[in-house]
Amino acid sequence: MTEIDAYDILVLGGGKAGKTLAMDQAKAGKRVAVIEAGMIGGSCINIACIPTKALVRSAEVAETVRHAGSFGAKGGDVPVNMHRVAARTAEVVADMVDFNRRAFAASGFELVIGWGRFVAARVIEVQSAGGPRRLTGERIYLNLGTRAAIPPVAGLRDAGPLTHVEALKLDVLPAHLIVVGGGYVGLEMAQAFRRLGSAVTLIERGPRLAAREDDDVAAAIQDLFVADGIEVAMGEEIASVEGRSGDHIAAVLADGRRLSGSHLLVAAGREPMTRDIGLEIAGVDLDERGFIKADERLRTSAPGVWALGEVAGSPMFTHVSLDDYRVAKSGITGGDRTTKGRLIPSCLFIDPEFARIGLSEREAERSGQAYRVARLPVDVIPRARTLSKRVGLMKAVIAADSDKILGFTMLGAQAGEVLAVVQMAMLGGLPYTALRDGILAHPTMAEGLNMLFGSALSAHR
């Protein structure tokens, strides 16, 4: 019989929520272990947010150099060294992994590297370098994450498509990249590779890019992509894929048209890492999509087992995974924090950025409440002119019967930073007039908020 090591806190999967909880609880004197398959620090720093934003930065520099002449500097269409781009991305990742590794060690939790699976209700077996080990915890937290879903399209899997993981390591520039999916991953990657110098075709089967956004916002993003020279194929179903990514590949559409390229990147959504790890033995129920069913305190159907981050069905952002840690910690310390009613910001790192907090106009309409809308083209903000970044819009949704801000959307330079200003106003319960009348520094992009909230509000419903 293999011995079972017992811990106060056992975390399976070291994502943002799990690693933060582990460090916190280890520092508080608990006996804590984290079982992690191999990505020290989880997907954000290894294969997701951080390397994509490093790639996006390389693309931004290439684009700036390309247009340097108009700013009076010497530039032009200089070739991009993808070997260096990939190396820089890897350096940024390595630094953060190292930082995490040291923080883990300093906190005092035990990091067990290996693939974990339940072998009994509260027992996880790990296949680690030193042979199999069994661990149990008074409290067990599952922070397993997701991976790129490969749609069941004939020939797609056999074509060896790239996902974000491989695309971030490419040290040759794809001559022509086909991107399947116009969500967050597809949009960031499509524009980055276009600006690095690839021809890019983006295929989205739905009616709009960034599916959850309002039509005018999605159309503005599409215009931006078309202006960048990206071929955008909307509302198209891929019937089959022929060839191999990295060589020659073609997406054959339902109407028989062929969209050909050299590489194909799949960015068509995510699937949870819940298969074949004995969750049924653990008594952890899944929903119809395979995500762990968790309540507002992130409790699963198994007593003493919680789920955190994407695998728990939480919105797929690192800052939400971090908040799941706060909810989990509150459960340990007797607090009452839950996942209900969270105000969750999002920022899409295209150029210019897209950001949203609270309700979109469509969501406000669906909610049935009376509301007003304010709109502003970014072009009228002085800072947008000094930056030569005049594309985009700001949009706010305000309650009709009070001055409460219900939502804010921006496509424009530094949208993620401007968003935080509105978010703080919303968190503080400030009326929209505070942003209309507050003295904001000139010339900043945030100054546009004075104009946005000072503009005529059109009433709805």
Ligand X SMILES: Cc1cc2nc3c(=O)[nH]c(=O)nc-3n(C[C@H](O)[C@H](O)[C@H](O)COP(=O)(O)OP(=O)(O)OC[C@H]3O[C@@H](n4cnc5c(N)ncnc54)[C@H](O)[C@@H]3O)c2cc1C
Ligand Y SMILES: NC(=O)c1ccc[n+]([C@@H]2O[C@H](COP(=O)([O-])OP(=O)(O)OC[C@H]3O[C@@H](n4cnc5c(N)ncnc54)[C@H](O)[C@@H]3O)[C@@H](O)[C@H]2O)c1
Active site residues: 442
Q: What is the DSSP letter of 70?
A: G
Strand order in the sheet with 405-411: 346-348, 354-358, 405-411, 393-399, 371-377, 458-460
Among 151, 155, 331, 438, contact with ligand Y (rule: CB under 6 A):
151
Quick one: what does residue 277 bind among ligand Y, ligand X, none, with the CB cut-off 5 to 8 Å set by partner type? ligand X
Tell me how far apart the alpha carbons of residues 6 and 252 are, in angstroms, rounded to a whole number: 54
CA 240 to chain centre: 28
Q: Which stretch binds ligand Y (CB under 6 A): 110-118, 134-142, 205-213, 218-226?
A: 205-213
User: Would you count residue 328 as binding ligand Y (CB under 6 A)?
Assistant: no
Please answer whether residues 305 and 182 qualify as being in contact, where contact means their C-beta atoms are separated by less than 8 angstroms: no
Among 14, 15, 41, 182, contact with ligand Y (rule: CB under 6 A):
182
Q: Is 183 annotated as a binding residue?
A: yes
Please answer whether residues 123 and 4 qualify as being in contact, where contact means their C-beta atoms are separated by less than 8 angstroms: yes
Among 24, 204, 324, 351, contact with ligand Y (rule: CB under 6 A):
204
Please answer whether residues 119 and 134 qualify as being in contact, where contact means their C-beta atoms are separated by less than 8 angstroms: yes
User: Would you count residue 361 as binding ligand Y (CB under 6 A)?
Assistant: no
Rg of the chain on CA atoms, in Å: 24
Smallest CA-to-CA distance from 218 within 360, 420, 359, 416 is with: 360
User: Would you count residue 174 as binding ligand Y (CB under 6 A)?
Assistant: no
Among 108, 114, 155, 269, contact with ligand Y (rule: CB under 6 A):
269
Quick one: what does residue 309 bind among ligand X, ligand Y, none, with the CB cut-off 5 to 8 Å set by partner type? ligand X
Quick one: what does residue 17 bind among ligand Y, ligand X, none, with the CB cut-off 5 to 8 Å set by partner type? ligand X
Please answer whether residues 298 and 327 qualify as being in contact, where contact means their C-beta atoms are separated by less than 8 angstroms: yes
Residue closer to ligand X by CB (options 302, 452) is 302
User: Would you count residue 192 as binding ligand X (CB under 6 A)?
Assistant: no
User: Would you count residue 185 as binding ligand Y (CB under 6 A)?
Assistant: yes
Smallest CA-to-CA distance from 18 within 123, 112, 134 is with: 112
User: Would you count residue 244 as binding ligand X (CB under 6 A)?
Assistant: no
List of residues 6+ apart from 73 with CB closer than 8 A: none
Tell me how far apart the alpha carbons of residues 237 and 161 are, in angstroms, rounded to a whole number: 17
Of residues 260-319, those binding ligand X (CB under 6 A): 273, 277, 309-311, 316-319
Q: Beta strands of 222-327 (E only): which ranges?
A: 231-234, 238-244, 248-253, 258-261, 263-266, 270-272, 305-307
Of residues 22-81, those binding ligand X (CB under 6 A): 35-37, 39, 42-44, 48-49, 52-53
Q: Which stretch binds ligand X (CB under 6 A): 7-15, 249-257, 360-368, 382-390?
A: 7-15
Q: Is 404 annotated as a binding residue?
A: no
Min dist. Cβ of residue 420 to ligand Y (A) = 14
For residue 110, what are the CA distances in angstroms to 9, 18, 275, 438?
Answer: 11, 13, 25, 49
Tell me how far apart the alpha carbons of residues 459 and 104 are, in angstroms, rounded to a whole number: 52
Min dist. Cβ of residue 184 to ligand Y (A) = 3
User: Would you count residue 181 as binding ligand Y (CB under 6 A)?
Assistant: yes
Which helix (H) or strand (E) element contains residue 134?
Answer: strand 131-142
Min dist. Cβ of residue 304 to ligand X (A) = 18
Number of residues engaging ligand X in binding (CB under 6 A): 36
Residue closer to ligand Y by CB (options 416, 454) is 416
Of residues 122-181, those binding ligand X (CB under 6 A): 143-145, 164
Q: Which residue is nearest to ligand Y (CB)?
A: 183
The dihedrals phi and psi of 392, each to the nearest 5 degrees, come to 125, -175
Tell me how far apart the alpha carbons of residues 339 and 341 are, in angstroms, rounded to a whole number: 7
Quick one: what does residue 238 bind among ligand X, ligand Y, none, with the CB cut-off 5 to 8 Å set by partner type? ligand Y
Q: Which stretch binds ligand Y (CB under 6 A): 22-30, 80-88, 132-140, 203-211?
A: 203-211
- Token pair of 18 as six digits: 């799990």
Among 36, 63, 188, 213, contact with ligand Y (rule: CB under 6 A):
188
Q: What is the DSSP letter of 211?
A: T
Min dist. Cβ of residue 210 to ligand Y (A) = 8
Which helix (H) or strand (E) element contains residue 157?
Answer: none
Q: What is the dihedral of CA 120, 123, 128, 133, to 10 degrees?
A: -100
Which spans of this chain sit near ligand X (rule: CB under 6 A)? 12-17, 35-37, 39, 42-44, 48-49, 52-53, 115-117, 143-145, 164, 185, 273, 277, 309-311, 316-319, 321, 349
Provide the annotated binding site for NAD(+).
181-188, 204, 269
Which spans of this chain sit near ligand Y (rule: CB under 6 A)? 151, 153, 180-186, 188, 203-206, 211, 238, 267-270, 316-317, 346-349
